[in-house]
């Protein structure tokens, strides 16, 4: 295989990579920065292996709201039922998962429409870039991309205030073939870029946004752009798809090898922003506490890791209280805000027929569909 083909990433199997391992060729995207230590890839779940919320099920992003899909990835759309998102096992050599985005209809986007996938990176994890001041460091974004639509696709990087953004574009040369893409972006010396536990920067991929959300590729702008002018609209073709995996955002002007982290490490990184309890067994225990009255129990639930901020709670399915003898169905389950922080949460379960001061546990009510989702996403 010619070197140019390998460097462009048009590889559907591991055959070309075998040549690399044998020392025949060494494309720059597989080299590793010498003496690099630390958190090279600022993207979390770049290999698309973690999906706590949906366990591989298809998701349709809600109209006008941020919808989280695979861990750390979200979508914002302002038209309902135009695309679906799912974890996939269709992946290039070296990966086992990807994210697939599928157009549900042929929709012609209006000027103000937005269809965008994104991941916001915590400011504490990009503070060394020094953006917003002289000496701002360059970044390089790399990823594997496969689409049924050839041509120019696009994305953008933006700040938390949506006052600065950098649209970028990349070309899909062959339909339904994984291609390796890299984009280098000069650091922004203007604007406000958070270095706190807020959103330090956001990486976006355009799925068909309208003209007002698209800007000139390759330049910083004082605007909120989701992609580049003239790029392909996924939602414009019914059944069109794109797959993406191996997403990496790193400091510097050279794309290096993907930062493979242990699965357990990647899961812990995700759990700073989302924890899901339930689903593992029909009587999965969530936490323990004691009855403060005949109809109420306070239960403390520790998080596996310290969360970014005090989380919000969403509940699906049914739970029950158990004292080891009998079980009572919970009528209301809610956060005790005054006793909820970044290390643990206090839940109040309202039921009936309880014995004051008796210990109880909250558990799934004979099902695997019950979920408690704690979110402190950016």
- Of the candidates 224, 246, 303, the residue with the CA atom closest to the CA atom of residue 271: 303
> Domain 31-271 is of which CATH architecture?
Sandwich (2.60)
**Reported pTM:** 0.90
What pLDDT was estimated at residue 16? 39
Q: Tokens 């919808």 correspond to what residue?
A: 67
DSSP state of 197: S
Percent of the chain with pLDDT over 90: 86
What integer is the mean pLDDT of 21-33?
40
Confidence at 221, pLDDT banded by 50, 70, 90: very high
What pLDDT was estimated at residue 269? 98
Point out the least confidently predicted range of 32-41, 46-55, 173-182, 346-355.
32-41
Strand ranges in 238-365 using DSSP code E only, listed in sequence order: 241-251, 274-277, 285-293, 296-302, 312-316, 319-322, 327-329, 332-335, 344-350, 359-364
What pLDDT was estimated at residue 151? 98
- Of the candidates 84, 116, 114, the residue with the CA atom closest to the CA atom of residue 99: 84
What integer is the mean pLDDT of 62-77?
98
Confidence at 38, pLDDT banded by 50, 70, 90: confident
Domain boundaries, the chain: 31-271, 274-375
Residue 169 phi/psi, 5-degree rounding, is -130, 160
Confidence at 120, pLDDT banded by 50, 70, 90: very high
């Amino acid at each position: 295989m010619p070197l140019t083909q390998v460097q462009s990433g048009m590889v559907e199997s591991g055959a070309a990579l075998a040549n690399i391992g044998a020392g025949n060729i060494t494309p720059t995207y597989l080299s590793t920065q010498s003496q690099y230590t630390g958190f090279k890839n600022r993207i979390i779940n770049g290999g698309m292996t973690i999906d706590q919320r949906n366990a591989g099920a298809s998701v349709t992003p809600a109209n006008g709201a941020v919808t989280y899909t695979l861990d750390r990835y979200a979508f914002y759309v302002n038209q309902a039922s135009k695309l679906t998102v799912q974890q996939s096992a269709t992946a290039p050599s070296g990966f086992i998962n990807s994210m697939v985005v599928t157009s549900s209809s042929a929709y012609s986007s209006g000027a103000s429409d937005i269809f965008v996938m994104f991941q916001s990176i915590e400011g504490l994890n990009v503070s060394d870039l020094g953006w917003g001041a002289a000496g701002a460091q360059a970044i390089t974004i790399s990823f594997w991309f496969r689409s049924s639509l050839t041509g120019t696709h696009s994305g953008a990087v933006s700040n938390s205030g949506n006052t600065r953004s950098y649209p970028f574009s990349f070309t899909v040369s062959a339909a339904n073939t994984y291609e390796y893409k890299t984009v280098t972006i000069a650091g922004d010396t203007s604007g406000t870029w958070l270095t706190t536990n807020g959103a330090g920067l956001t990486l976006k991929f355009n799925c068909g946004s309208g003209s007002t959300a698209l800007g000139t590729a390759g330049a910083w702008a004082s605007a909120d752009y989701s992609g580049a002018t003239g790029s392909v609209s996924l939602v414009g073709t019914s059944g069109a798809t794109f797959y993406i995996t191996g997403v990496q955002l790193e400091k510097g002007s050279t794309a290096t090898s993907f930062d493979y982290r242990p699965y357990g490490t990647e899961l812990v990184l995700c759990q700073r922003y989302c924890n899901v309890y339930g689903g593992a067994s029909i009587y999965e225990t969530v936490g323990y506490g004691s009855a403060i009255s005949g109809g109420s129990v306070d239960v403390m639930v520790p998080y596996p890791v310290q969360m970014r901020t005090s989380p919000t709670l969403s509940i699906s399915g049914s739970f029950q209280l158990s004292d080891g003898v009998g079980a009572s169905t919970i009528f209301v389950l809610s956060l005790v805000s005054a006793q909820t922080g970044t290390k643990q949460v206090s839940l109040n379960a309202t039921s009936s027929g309880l014995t004051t001061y008796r210990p109880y546990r909250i558990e799934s009510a004979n099902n695997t569909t019950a979920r408690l989702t704690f979110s402190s996403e950016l």
